[in-house]
Chain A
Amino acid sequence: MKALIQKDLRENLKAGLLGLLIYSLLALAVCLSTIASLTHLIDGNNGAVYSDVLQPLLSNDFLTESAFFCAIFGAVLGWMQSRNEAHRDLWAFLIHRPVTRTEIFRGKMTAGLCLYAMGAGLPMAVLLAVVRWPGHVAAPFEWAMVLPLAAVFLSGVACYFGGWLTGLRQARWYASRGFGLVLAVLCPVCVLNVAEFWQTLALTAVAVVILATAVWGAYQSGGYYRGQPAGGRLALIVAMAAGSGGVVFAGAGLLFAAVLNPWSSFSYSSSNYRMTQDGSLYKTTITNGVVKEIVDLDGHPLLDPKTGQKMEWQEFQKHVAAGAAASTELRYREYQNNGNSFCNQGRFFELWSTAEKALWYLDRHGDLRGYNAQTRKYAGSLNPPGSRGALGREPFLQLSDPGNYYGSDDLKLMATAKGVYQADFKARALKPVFSLTNDDEICGFCGDPGGPILNGNQMKFILLTTKSAVRLLDSEGGTILGVPYQPGYVEYPQVGVFFLQATNGSTANFAVWFYPDAQMNLKSGWKMPHHVLWLGPGQTVARSADLPYLHPQTSISWPTPLLQALLPPPAHLASDHNIYSPWSALCFALAIISAGVAWVLARRHNASIMAGIGWTLFVFLLGVAGLLTLLCAQEWAAREPCPNCKKLRAVDRELCEHCQAPFPPPEKNGTEIFAPL
């Protein structure tokens, strides 16, 4: 096997070196971008700092480029390893030697993976060494940051086997040779989109096992389905099924997009509640981006007092109450990671400030860490005293969207579980603004004032939600408003406060709006209403109201359910719970017809009863994609009339399946010369 490994290493070395060169250039480019960003910062051009490249290991652009590179490089390498021996005589030279085909496969695989590791892994390792070495990158580092690149690297292994299978497979339909690549390409696509590393690792591992087994099987049979061991056939079928599914959906999508274009008649309508400055509630309806109506809660149109006509949208906007909203999602970074891709830089840190030629990051532990842009080394942290954080200080809480924190590059308002602080990055100091003295905890925070304009200045407010209260603070931390958080912050995770003007007999100065959690509301059958409080002088509740949830209206568009009908029946049931809908009927009809065709094909081409039942079930479960898989994977034996019963019989059987007659010997022409040897 050593000789085979050496042979393949040498044979494909040029491809490996080319990959090494290309990927090294990509890695170099991201390092240069990092340096360029830091240079801009040193030069005082803070606006040109591109936060995506500050930690190259987590650069979204670089990860995307890496995913493309690893997929293409892996696939090309695998394809070349099979295409080099595509000529049947060279294939024979390779195969006809005293080693098993499994050993040949293992030898080639070892060489291929070594070359892949050289081309893709080596630049990654060098990049990691550069990043890890202090003084190169002015950003936090932890080993978990290596996982995205590791996942990208591993996804290329799946593409390597996908490319190898494509080059090796002897397919009846030439286009179907590339079907194995669809499963492989899913891996790099998923790397950048799934939430957790283990998810992409699991998918990649499954894809690698399936594709490697399919390649191994193809080696046993010279690339044909027939003659493979059962494991190889099964793996090939699964790989082909993924490819068939991709082709069916891509084909249907292309057909819709390029030919039928059904989305031209798509319409979307949504209604929302709006509160005006006098505390009145109105319902606005917007259809396809155009305001259709503004009505009160009784359904009467809002009239413009100046014209007596229906009020225009622009005019209405002038009457809408200013306000602020805060979510109770202020949590430690680990909590916020739910749903984000593990490749997302925000999982590990956010760039908080670039004041004074330093880079301040809020990391996932709630630590505010500073790095010197000049030396590219850690410069210190800025956290209130405490004992909860990784640094032995009080960690800052974070919003899922850091843009909600307000402040300048030099000054930023920040919150821990117990207090609100103003971070002064120039002075490298924290100024306490507000602190809780009881057992309560801060869970929501909005610094965006949006308050009314008083004496020519827009009022600065801080909307703060704790587990038991909603508070409106002034910019110095003084309490302007405080009401209990009822209903509970779990069921109603978003709160809005509106600034009102007491007019028309209303004495309310503020309105507090509690928004229900969408997921919980869905589970309750949309029975959780919006809860609104109007607060008068002395923070007394002037009145309250529960407003029913308003559903968006979508015109039924046929492409989506039709695409759903093309899904395998189990997946269709998971996506469309109404089993009695016409689209469900279509889905099952397609599956049954496909299964029927599979059964007929299997029987016609003389598959055994068990194989026929297996294929029929498989096609029924996968629908149209399953039928395409059957047509791509199976190699049908030719059929010719049986001289005995005259029916068509498969030529790969010793006896006629209809009359059990053997094949006749070749017809004699009288010139035969046979003699004992």
Chain B
Amino acid sequence: MNEQSVIETRGLTKYFGGKPAVYELDLEVPRGCVFAFLGRNGSGKTTTIRMLAGLEQPTRGAGSILGCDIRALSPEIRARIGYLAEEHQLYGWMSVAECGEFQAKFFAKWNGRIFRGIAGHFGLKPAARVKDLSRGERAGLCLALTLAPEPELLLLDDPGLGLDPVARRALVESMIYLTRKSDRTIFFSSHQLSDVERVADYMAVLDQSVLRACCPLEKFQESVRQVRLRFSGAPPALPEIPGLLQAARTENELRVTCARYDGETERILRALSPVEMETVPLGLEDAFISYLGERGEKSFILPDLEAQP
């Protein structure tokens, strides 16, 4: 195992019935980074995080977290891991203060100031019952409970779910605050790509249970490119392009989105003899949507659309 990795999996696989939820996942997460774990709904993100937290037994494969086998996490290791589940479930009958007191009794490194600070940031009154909190407030409370023990590694399963933009921004700031020390690591899943873009160093993309990308954020953005090709007449038929994600055709234009864009891709495209060839800058969200969106060639020429059944 790589000593610089806080999370490492080899062939990690989970089946539910006969269907794989996570398939042969090989992943390494370096210490001290913010790692975004992305994918569409049902792609296996939550299952992976639950397996990493020792809450779900893998069907096969192996994994370690902070050097400990994920099948047998010791209490000492759990004390170093903060886990935030996606639905922010807590005991409804407890008050905010009682939640904090309850949790504080288990964690030696409990930092009451962090708890109170985050709770205050979300406007949580200590006497308020959990069952009376809004979803966003509950998320804030869960976040406070997760961050207050000052864990070395944070596993956050869609922490922004249910939070308004202001609260989400507070969450992002919390994450940045937490990683001020170099040995802190955050592994989180999210659908909020603007947040990811703001804080993440690395990202991994799960597509239908399979890991398709794992790289620094910039590398992903570099690799997924869209090129607009203008032709004097109708665009020619598209040859086979490695890593082609999408191609959209209009009367005299062709927009091609590729993963792993490189010199070979450019050579193939230039061979089509376009009048003009232009690279369209993609943000992370656009790149991500292109990467996981519908694959293949689409036509936006009216007669073609009308001809479709």
Q: Which residues of A contact B (CB under 8 A)?
A: 2-3, 7, 10-11, 84, 87-93, 95-100, 221-222, 224, 226-227, 637-640, 651-654, 663, 665-666, 669-675, 677
Contacts and interface: CB of A to CB of B under 8 A. Distances in A.
Nearest to B18: A638
Contacts of A639: 18
A226 B85 contact: no
A672 B243 CA distance: 8
Given A7-B91, A637-B59, A653-B60, 8 more contacts: A89-B89, A90-B91, A97-B103, A221-B57, A670-B260, A671-B291, A677-B29, A677-B215
B76 A98 contact: yes
A89 B87 contact: yes
Contact of B53 (A10, A92, A227, A665): A92
A221 B57 CA distance: 8
Contacts of B242: 670
A89 B107 contact: no
Interface string B7-44: 00001010101111001100011100100000000000
A89 B79 CA distance: 18
B223 interface: yes
Nearest to B5: A677
B102 interface: yes
B135 interface: no
7 contacts: A7-B91, A96-B53, A96-B83, A98-B76, A670-B260, A673-B223, A677-B202
Interface in B65-90: 71, 75-76, 78-79, 81, 83, 85-90
Contacts, number: 133
Interface in B203-229: 205, 210-216, 219-220, 223-224
B105 interface: yes
Contacts of B33: 677
B15 A93 contact: no
Given A7-B91, A7-B102, A222-B55, A673 B60 contact: no
A280 to B, nearest CB: 80
A100 B76 CA distance: 10
Nearest to A672: B212
Contacts of A221: 57
Nearest to A3: B105
Given A87-B87, A100-B75, A638-B15, A673 B215 contact: yes
B89 A637 contact: no
A663 B211 CA distance: 16
A672 B260 contact: yes
B93 interface: yes
A666 B75 contact: no
Contact of A654 (B53, B60, B83, B259): B60
Interface string B46-64: 0000100111110111000
Nearest to B61: A654
A410 to B, nearest CB: 64
Interface of B, helix, strand, loop or mixed by DSSP: mixed
B104 to A, nearest CB: 9
Contacts of A227: 57, 71
A11 B259 CA distance: 53
A671 B59 contact: no
A227 B103 CA distance: 27
Contacts of A654: 11, 60-61
A677 B30 contact: yes
B177 interface: no
A112 B92 CA distance: 19
A360 to B, nearest CB: 56
Contact of A93 (B89, B108, B244): B89
A224 B57 contact: yes
A208 to B, nearest CB: 27
Given A7-B102, A96-B55, A666-B24, A640 B213 contact: no
B224 A673 contact: yes
A16 B79 CA distance: 33
Nearest to B205: A673
Contact of B245 (A11, A226, A640, A671): A671
A674 B89 contact: no
A89 B86 contact: yes
A100 B74 CA distance: 7
Nearest to B212: A672
B18 A673 contact: no
A89 B259 CA distance: 36
A654 B62 CA distance: 10
A85 to B, nearest CB: 9
Nearest to A98: B79
B70 to A, nearest CB: 12
Given A651-B13, A651-B60, A97 B107 contact: yes
B144 to A, nearest CB: 13
Contacts of A674: 213-215
Contacts of A665: 24
Contacts of B205: 673
A10 B59 contact: no
Nearest to B82: A96
B20 to A, nearest CB: 8
Contacts of A100: 75
Contacts of A675: 214-216, 219
A638 B17 contact: yes
A81 to B, nearest CB: 13
A98 B75 contact: yes
Contacts of B29: 677
A673 B219 contact: yes
Nearest to B142: A93
Contacts of B78: 96-98
Given A638-B18, A670-B243, A663 B11 contact: yes
A556 B87 CA distance: 64
Interface in B233-259: 242-245, 259
Nearest to B50: A92
Contact of A92 (B15, B60, B61, B85): B85
Given A98-B75, A674-B215, A677-B202, A87 B89 contact: yes
Contacts of A11: 91, 93
A651 B15 contact: yes
